[in-house]
Each structure stands twice: as structure tokens, then as C-alpha cells.
């Protein structure tokens, strides 16, 4: 069954790749954005979250909402103002759509939303399943508020699916780009003690998992979005260096230096999150890149 899909946050890397995949699969796609049209292949509607304005036509004939909107978690230092922005960019965006749904007749049946591995935050060597309770820090609080806002759509009897996303590996954006940059110049090093777990996923598998979330109507609730084989920070850094054929000779970057430079935001790189992927695999999803070496070879090959 072909669907009409409205994507929030579509200008980001995931939104762009998912848009192309959906179009290739024969689905219709529309975007909603703060900015003018940025993709010639799809129609873009405008909204302004601060002014609580939204183009009511964005819901016309839409079956599925994919909610990817959210300010970049690692783009700026976490001041109180920035924390509020991080939360509201995820929660108030979906609420604005729900407010419109109350006023305007629509045929929306499902919301497929991003969430984050930050829901579990720093849990050492413990393997996190979707049944684990959230942590108590800012990353977890942000994720919980995000998921709760999405769940408000249950009042419309929507099917709601949330993907707790790990570290997305893509050559031109995100964490991999930042980790690989010093490695390329011979200055790479593990961060902290290097033992912290990273639940990673190849960008192609991210898009394919969203596609499954849209097409497989048996999926609902929360799912971990990560490879079945998490790696430690030291292992990831080493594998990147091997793939790029660069030496690793510097000592680990001390945790205190990262905390000094990044403040509370250092939790992103020093926290250890090891997520279980069994639930999505048992739902029938098959990873194209389950192992880190093959993923990096594809990315840099």
C-alpha cells in the first residue's frame, strides 16, 4: 500500500535520505519546514513553532507523519536556554501538528518518530532493552519528554512507533565525521578511558528501519535503532584508523579535559550506552550493515 508521508525535520541527513528512499518505493512525500523549499522533488509547507503557525494544507491526504524535527544535540554548549530549545524543538513541533489535527479533518493513521539512545544515557556495560527504565540526566529527560509528546497522539487512535536512535554513521555528518577528522590527520585518539559503549547504526539502515516502520503496520511502541553489535569508543576509533590507513599513536583524550571543554555536554562522548537490537530483528528487520568493519568499508570505500 502506497502512502502519503509528511516528514518534519526533513532538511537533516536522515530526512533527505529517507525522502529519496520513500520516493523510490513509490510513496508520496511532503515536507514541513521553517525555511523555503529545499527539495525540488517534494512540496514543502511552512511552519513557525515560536509563533505557533502552521500551514493547514500540510495534512491534506497524509497517512503517515514521520517526526524527525529537533535541534542538534551536540551543536552548542548546554546552557539552560539551549536545553529548553533542545526539548521544545522536539516536543512543541509534534504538538503543533496535533493541535492542527484537532481543528482540521484528516486521515492521519500513524506517527513514526525519532527518539534517542539518550533515553538510557550512561549505563556502563549493561545491555539496554526497550523495557529498561530511562536514566535521570538531561539526555534521558529530553528523550522522555520527546516520547511523551509523541504519545499524546494516542488520543487520535494513531499507531505510534518510536525509534531510540544510536550514533548514526555517515561520512559527511554527525559523530563519525567528528571522530574521523583528527584520525585523517594522524591525531586520532580514544576519548576518556575508551571503554564506553557506542550503539551505532549505518545511515542506510536508519532509512530502511523508518521505511519498515511506515510500511509494517504491526510495529508500534518503542524500538532501539542500532546495530546488533555495539562497539567501544576505543574499538570504533581503531577501526576507523584501520579503514583510513592512519596510525593511532596519541594517548587517550582525558575525561577531565573533555568535561572542561564541553561541560555537561561531555556526557555525549563519555557516556556508555549498549543497546539490544533483538526487538526490531524479531519484528523482521534485517540489517544491511550489522558489523562495524563492513559499515565503515561501505562508508569510506
Q: What is the pLDDT of residues 50-61, one digit of tens each?
A: 999 999 999 999
pLDDT of 136 > 80? The answer is yes
pLDDT of 118 > 80? The answer is yes
> 195 or 264, which is more confident?
195
**Rounded mean pLDDT, 32-46:** 85
Q: What per-residue confidence (pLDDT) applies to 178? A: 87
Phi, psi of 227 (to 5 degrees): -60, 150
- Hey, how many other C-beta atoms are within 10 angstroms of the C-beta on 54? 20
Give the max Cα distance, the chain. Answer: 62
Phi, psi of 160 (to 5 degrees): -120, 125
- Hey, how many other C-beta atoms are within 10 angstroms of the C-beta on 57? 10
Of the chain, the percentage scoring pLDDT greater than 70 comes to 99
Q: What per-residue confidence (pLDDT) applies to 39? A: 79
**Rounded mean pLDDT, 115-138:** 97
d(CA 298, CA 153): 38
Is 55 in a helix, a strand, or coil?
coil
**Rounded mean pLDDT, 259-269:** 88
**Rounded mean pLDDT, 161-169:** 97
Q: What per-residue confidence (pLDDT) applies to 261? A: 85
Confidence band for 36, pLDDT divided at 50, 70 and 90 = low
Rounded mean pLDDT of the chain?
Answer: 95
> 118 or 34, which is more confident?
118
pLDDT of 83 > 90? The answer is yes
**Rounded mean pLDDT, 13-28:** 97
Q: CA 6 → CA 44, 91, 164, 287, distances in Å? A: 9, 17, 20, 25
Domain extents for the chain?
Answer: 4-234+260-300
pLDDT of 301 > 90? The answer is no
d(CA 49, CA 253): 39
Confidence band for 256, pLDDT divided at 50, 70 and 90 = confident
- Hey, how many other C-beta atoms are within 10 angstroms of the C-beta on 42? 17
pLDDT of 157 > 80? The answer is yes
Q: What per-residue confidence (pLDDT) applies to 54? A: 96
Q: What per-residue confidence (pLDDT) applies to 40? A: 82
Pairing of strands 231-232, 197-198: antiparallel
Question: What's CA 244's distance to the chain center, in Å?
Answer: 25
Q: What per-residue confidence (pLDDT) applies to 34? A: 86
Q: What per-residue confidence (pLDDT) applies to 291? A: 98
Joined grid coordinates for residue 84: 529548553
d(CA 74, CA 29): 28
pLDDT of 66 > 90? The answer is yes
d(CA 271, CA 279): 23
d(CA 56, CA 58): 5
d(CA 54, CA 114): 21
pLDDT of 158 > 90? The answer is yes
Confidence band for 154, pLDDT divided at 50, 70 and 90 = very high
Joined grid coordinates for residue 275: 543497546
CATH of span 4-234+260-300: 3.40.50.720
Note whether 62 and 8 are within 8 A (CB): no
Give tens-digit pLDDT for 206-233: 999 999 999 999 999 999 999 999 999 9
| Closest of 160, 177, 150 to residue 72, by C-alpha | 177
pLDDT of 272 > 70? The answer is yes
Amino acid at each position: 500500500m502506497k502512502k502519503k508521508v509528511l516528514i518534519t525535520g526533513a532538511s537533516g541527513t536522515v530526512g533527505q535520505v529517507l525522502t529519496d528512499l520513500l520516493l523510490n518505493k513509490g510513496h508520496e512525500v511532503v515536507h514541513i519546514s521553517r525555511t523555503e523549499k529545499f527539495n525540488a522533488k517534494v512540496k514543502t509547507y511552512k511552519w513557525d513553532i515560536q509563533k505557533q503557525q502552521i500551514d493547514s494544507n500540510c495534512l491534506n491526504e497524509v497517512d503517515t507523519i514521520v517526526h524527525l524535527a529537533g535541534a542538534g544535540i551536540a551543536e552548542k554548549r548546554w546552557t539552560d536556554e539551549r536545553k529548553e530549545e533542545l526539548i521544545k524543538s522536539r516536543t512543541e513541533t509534534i504538538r503543533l501538528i496535533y493541535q492542527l489535527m484537532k481543528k482540521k479533518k484528516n486521515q492521519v493513521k500513524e506517527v513514526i518518530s525519532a527518539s534517542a539512545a539518550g533515553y538510557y544515557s550512561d549505563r556502563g556495560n549493561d545491555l539496554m532493552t526497550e523495557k529498561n527504565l530511562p536514566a535521570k540526566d538531561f539526555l534521558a529527560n529530553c528523550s522522555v519528554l520527546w516520547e511523551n509528546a509523541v504519545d499524546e497522539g494516542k488520543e487520535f487512535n494513531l499507531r505510534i512507533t518510536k525509534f531510540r536512535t544510536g550514533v548514526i554513521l555517515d561520512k559527511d555528518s554527525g559523530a563519525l565525521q567528528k571522530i574521523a577528522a583528527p584520525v585523517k590527520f594522524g591525531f586520532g585518539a580514544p576519548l576518556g578511558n575508551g571503554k564506553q559503549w557506542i550503539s551505532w547504526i549505518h545511515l542506510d539502515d536508519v532509512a530502511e528501519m523508518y521505511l519498515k516502520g511506515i510500511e509494517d503496520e504491526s510495529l508500534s511502541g518503542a524500538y532501539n535503532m542500532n546495530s546488533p553489535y555495539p562497539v567501544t569508543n576505543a574499538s570504533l576509533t581503531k577501526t576507523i584508523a584501520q579503514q583510513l590507513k592512519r596510525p593511532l599513536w596519541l594517548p587517550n583524550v582525558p575525561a577531565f579535559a573533555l568535561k572542561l571543554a564541553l561541560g555537561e555536554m561531555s556526557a555525549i562522548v563519555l557516556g556508555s550506552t549498549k543497546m539490544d537490537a533483538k526487538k526490531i530483528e524479531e519484528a523482521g528487520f534485517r540489517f544491511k550493515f550489522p558489523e562495524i568493519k563492513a559499515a565503515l568499508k561501505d562508508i569510506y570505500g
